């Protein structure tokens, strides 16, 4: 993914004015988050400490990039933040509410505030549902009226024809499927969007268009975003701040140009050096 393919309007400080003016404090605050996975005795036993006590914040109207190599724990963080996994320890506060160990019943009314865009746009969509039904799912959960019109509008917002709402996922291209996933995630106007490698499964020719669409929608709607990626070029051009993760720990955080121009941690410097080598 070439960084110059992604337009960069963030340097001029033009931030979304929606959620940024509302409420106080960050939309997401993670403190001391821990998550381990136990290894079966048949495989030797023990535990893998996927997330080892990290701290992370995402401000209102901000895009924070979480970067690191495969296996560093990035996706586990995302799943714990959205309570798709139960954290072993620490605290996750969403828009002022501690959701770390809320029951499913108490978490249900908070679900519209947070949504996720998954890495694989095909496996994350129900193949038996039409595009219209997929995008409308969050609205059905909230019993929102006028769903058909809202679905048509959102499909247009993400760069798709409203006529695609009667199609099924297998009838769409990879880029179209990821736009459907984006529409589903944003139709309920969440406060927090977690994007887990949303373009890594797409052709290079499609990646920039999807990323530019995401940036445009973020400015328009004002949601906060935790953007997970291993692609430093994408993170540099999309994110306001960057957190670098290695072996379950966040080893460095900072505003994007600080991290790229003056990295403090050896692991960050190695990542940047590897990126330059791959470009060469």
> pLDDT (tens digit, 9 = 90+) per residue, 136-147?
999 988 778 888
Q: Where are the domains of the chain?
A: 13-279
Q: To the nearest whole percent, how much of the chain has pLDDT over 90?
A: 68
DSSP for the chain reads --GGGS---GGGT----SGGGSSSS-SEEEEEEEEEEEPPGGGT--EEEEEEEEEEEE-TT-EEEEE--TTSSHHHHHHHHTTSS--SEEEEEETTEE-TT--HHHHGGGGGGEEEE-S-TTTTS-TTS-HHHHHHHHHHHTT-S-HHHHHHHHHHHTT--GGGGGS-GGGS-HHHHHHHHHHHHHTT--SEEEEESTTTTS-HHHHHHHHHHHHHHHHHH--EEEEEES-HHHHHHH-SEEEEEETTEEEEEEEHHHHHHS--SHHHHHHHHHHHHHH-
Can you give the pTM of this predicted structure?
A: 0.88
- For residue 278, the model assigns a pLDDT of 42
**What fold, for 13-279?**
Rossmann fold (3.40.50)
pLDDT tens digits for range 90-133: 999 999 999 999 999 999 989 999 999 988 878 889 999 999 99
Higher pLDDT, 236 or 56: 56
């Amino acid at each position: 993914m070439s960084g110059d393919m992604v337009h960069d309007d963030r340097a001029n400080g033009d931030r979304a004015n929606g959620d940024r003016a509302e409420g106080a404090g960050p939309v997401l605050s993670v403190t001391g988050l821990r998550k381990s996975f136990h290894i079966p005795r048949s495989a030797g036993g023990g535990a893998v400490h996927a997330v080892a006590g990290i701290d992370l914040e995402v401000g209102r109207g901000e895009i924070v990039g979480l970067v690191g190599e495969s296996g560093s724990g990035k996706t586990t963080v995302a799943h714990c933040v959205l309570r798709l996994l139960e954290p072993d320890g620490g605290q996750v506060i969403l828009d002022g509410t501690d959701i770390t160990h809320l029951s499913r019943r108490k978490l249900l009314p908070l679900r519209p505030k947070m949504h996720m865009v998954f890495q694989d746009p095909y496996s994350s969509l129900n193949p038996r549902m039409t595009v219209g039904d997929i995008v409308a799912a969050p609205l059905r959960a909230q019993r929102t009226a006028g769903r058909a019109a809202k679905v048509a509008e959102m499909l247009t917002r993400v760069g798709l024809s409203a006529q695609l709402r009667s199609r099924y996922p297998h009838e769409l291209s990879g880029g179209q499927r990821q736009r459907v996933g984006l529409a589903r995630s944003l139709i309920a106007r969440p406060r927090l969007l977690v994007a887990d490698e949303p373009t890594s499964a797409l052709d290079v020719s499609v990646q920039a268009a999807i990323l530019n669409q995401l940036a445009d929608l973020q400015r328009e709607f004002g949601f906060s975003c935790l953007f997970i990626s291993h692609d430093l070029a994408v993170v540099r051009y999309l994110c306001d701040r960057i957190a670098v993760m290695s072996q379950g720990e966040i080893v460095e955080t900072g505003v994007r140009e600080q991290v790229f121009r003056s990295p403090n941690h050896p692991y960050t410097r190695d990542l940047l050096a590897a990126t330059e080598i791959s470009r060469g």
